[in-house]
Amino acid sequence: MRFLIAIVLLFRIPLAADDARPVLDTAHSPKAVLHGVPVSAVTLGEGFWAPRRKVNVEVSLPTLLELFEQKGILDNFRRISGKKDVARRGPLFTDSDVYKWLEAIAFTLQSGPQPKLRAAAEAVIDDIVGAQEASGYLNTYYSRENLAERHQNMRGGHELYCLGHMLQAGIAWQRATGERKLLDSGIRMVEYLLRNFGPDKKPIFTGHPEFELALVELYRTTADRRYLDFAGYLLGGDPRNHIAPRDLTYLFSGRPFYTRTRLEGHAVRAMYASSGAADYYLETGDERYFRTLETLWQDMVRRKMYLTGGVGSRASGEAFGEPYELPNQQAYTESCAAIGNIFWDWRMLQATAAAPYMDVLERALYNGANSGLSLGGNLYCYRNPLELVGNPEDKIRNPWYDTTCCPPNLQRLLGSLPGYFYSTSKDGLYVHLYHNSELRWRLEDGSRLQVAQSTRYPWEGAVELRVEPAKPREFTLFLRIPAWARKAEISVNGAPVSGVTAGAYFPLRRTWKPADRVLLRLDVTPRLTAANPRVRENLGKVAVERGPLVYCMEGIDQPAGVAMFDWTIDAAGKFESEWRADLLGGIMLLRHKGTAAAAPSATEPLYRLFTPAEAGKSGALTLIPYYTFANREPTPMQVWIPYR
Ligand code: FUB
Ligand code: ZN
């Protein structure tokens, strides 16, 4: 009997609620090569992500709830249900922020019970559902005094955007707890829309894409084909909508998605639209979508993405710029856009199992999205620039924004993170990310499998994987070898494997037996990265990377007496890694002997006859991982550094 219990515990498959369903449930998607693993199947141990996820649960989620209360965001629901007699507060899309926060808690619950958070979330769900009209309509802005605006402002109205977030939260909540209250409420609003809008009814479009991807996941959840068809209708664009071409470009909606040839306009909208289109392709196999998605993705990674995985260079319109328009100080790079990049990459990966998608996902995850949350968990970046002057008034991290879309987006990403580590395919198991962790799941033939990872990744490049099938089984273990790895080695039970190349999944096919061990060694020696010369701002500069992490210099760490922007890197010099448990939550910092350009005197003219620059004095420079920038006092920062 004891033996039986031990076996059950050892190969526990999460059965409670519906939490056997992954973040993106492609189990039955005809075009999905890969199938996700639920958040609950992966337990992350100590290491890089542990403090980030801990702070999310202990600080970020509770403090955002307090702020929602202070700012009247929850009262917006209570006033509609008659529970409170107060004025509506905040921009017209505040409902969506509450939904994202709920989705974050739902993911968090899939990693273990959080009774206080769960109780708080249940009370919020009651408030939300209490605000729903008998017709199914639910949006706190387009009610009462703003009733006349309902369905009138498709461009900027965010009605469908809010509903998209509501559906995602409802789905995640149902998967985490088995409770359908929020999901059913969202479905009632969808049904209201289907009764009133569509190809044979009144025309509609999303304005801010988001509803599309939620509708596809709703289809995956309910198997109701109408939801998928409605997503197709929205992505296809209803010609009756009469939208100005400029709006079509900027909003990334309203015209057939598959006619697009480049990324343009509002970055978050473009990322969400592309994610929705990828979802639609996964279900329908409509190749027009896939061709477009590939074109757009290449446009992003070849011409429009920052080294951090952030996208959207222009503050004006929160938009993409021209190709290679990637300013550092002015970079807009909204946290939500980096997160949208991750969502899109993940969908492309499910469709192709191609490693470049995961390389970009990892880049955005560790850098451009990760930077969005402060180490203390209570401050957020809306913008994630690659250079800062360091003026105290440039408050780059704040507890709250009137448009507070980024904080709960970061929270839901961190909550769902275990769900991005593995996928299954008909051939075996894909390992996408590395971290101390345990997977308890199954292969697609139904046989149970555990994988334990031991590693100090990303600080160190060695990862040991203990593969524990319930019984010996032949399958392929696909190990991701990141494109950045200049050297990578694999051994299985001590025997080296040949032919390992970076930027691909390395297939290890064999009959795996309990306690088989795989050792992966990735070279994380610091490296210098150059930008395409068409990125004018980075001419004469390099960035420093180590493993998946982009590094930066902060003025506060550099020798006194020289302005940070006067330091140059010695391109042939060394970067020594030094583990500092006491700094910035524990980081590997980099030490480098740089050279200061001769500092100009106060009377130096703005322009003068060119003479080659004279070298100034040398000094010990320090670099820190980009995601930790601006976590101390205000200080200048740069990712791209001039070199000699
Ligand atoms: O419009 C809703 C959200 O606010 C967008 O996704 C962000 O870019 C910000 O504008
Ligand atoms: Zn945002």
Instruction: Considering only CA atoms, give the Rg of the chain.
Output: 25
Nearest ligand 1 atom to the CA of 266 is: 8
Q: Which of 213, 318, 335, 402 to mutate to test the pocket of ligand 1 (most atoms within 8 A of CB)?
A: 318
Contact 340/272 with Cβ under 8 angstroms? yes
Whether ligand 1 lies within 6 angstroms of the CB of 101 is answered as no
In CATH terms, the fold of domain 2-10+423-522 is: Immunoglobulin-like (2.60.40)
pLDDT at 7 over 50: no
Which pLDDT belongs to residue 5?
38
Which of 268, 262, 255, 336 has its CA nearest to residue 304? Answer: 262
Distance 335 CA to ligand 2 centre (A): 6
Domain residue ranges in the chain: 2-10+423-522, 48-420, 528-642
Which pLDDT belongs to residue 2?
42
Which pLDDT belongs to residue 13?
38
Q: What's the mean pLDDT in 491-519? A: 98
Whether ligand 1 lies within 6 angstroms of the CB of 102 is answered as no
Could you give phi then psi for residue 504, rounded to 5 degrees?
A: -155, 165
Confidence of residue 16 (pLDDT cuts 50, 70, 90): very low
Which pLDDT belongs to residue 19?
66
Distance 333 CA to ligand 2 centre (A): 10
In the chain, % of residues over pLDDT 70: 97
pLDDT at 405 over 80: yes
Which pLDDT belongs to residue 602?
86
pLDDT at 295 over 60: yes
Which pLDDT belongs to residue 20?
83
Confidence of residue 8 (pLDDT cuts 50, 70, 90): very low
Whether ligand 1 lies within 6 angstroms of the CB of 406 is answered as no
Distance 268 CA to ligand 1 centre (A): 7
Nearest ligand 1 atom to the CA of 334 is: 8
pLDDT (tens digit, 9 = 90+) per residue, 229-238? 999 999 999 9
Q: Which of 163, 403, 410 to mutate to test the pocket of ligand 1 (most atoms within 8 A of CB)?
A: 403
Contact 412/93 with Cβ under 8 angstroms? no
pLDDT at 577 over 60: yes
Which pLDDT belongs to residue 614?
74
Max intra-chain CA distance, the chain: 88
pLDDT at 62 over 60: yes
Residue 639 CB partners (closer than 8 Å, separation 6+): 307, 308, 328, 386, 387, 543, 550, 551, 552, 626
Confidence of residue 599 (pLDDT cuts 50, 70, 90): confident
Whether ligand 1 lies within 6 angstroms of the CB of 334 is answered as yes
Which pLDDT belongs to residue 321?
97
Mean pLDDT score of the chain:
95
pLDDT (tens digit, 9 = 90+) per residue, 384-395? 999 999 998 889
Q: What's the mean pLDDT in 88-110? A: 98
Contact 14/40 with Cβ under 8 angstroms? yes
Q: Which of 405, 409, 412 to mutate to test the pocket of ligand 1 (most atoms within 8 A of CB)?
A: 405
Distance 423 CA to ligand 1 centre (A): 30
Token pair, residue 404, equals 């507070």
Residue 393 CB partners (closer than 8 Å, separation 6+): none
Q: Do domains 2-10+423-522 and 48-420 have the same CATH topology?
A: no
Nearest ligand 1 atom to the CA of 318 is: 8
pLDDT (tens digit, 9 = 90+) per residue, 449-477? 999 999 999 999 999 999 999 999 999 99
Distance 180 CA to ligand 2 centre (A): 27
Confidence of residue 604 (pLDDT cuts 50, 70, 90): confident
Which pLDDT belongs to residue 18?
67
At which residue do the structure tokens 């000699």 appear? 644
Tell me which DSSP letter residue 202 carries.
B
Which pLDDT belongs to residue 17?
62
Which of 550, 573, 563 has its CA nearest to residue 640? Answer: 550
Q: Which of 94, 98, 208 to mutate to test the pocket of ligand 1 (most atoms within 8 A of CB)?
A: 208
Of 337-341, 584-588, 606-610, where does mean pLDDT reach its minimum?
Answer: 606-610
Q: What's the mean pLDDT in 581-586? A: 98
Whether ligand 1 lies within 6 angstroms of the CB of 91 is answered as no
Which pLDDT belongs to residue 15?
38
Class of domain 48-420: mainly alpha
Q: What's the mean pLDDT in 331-350? A: 98
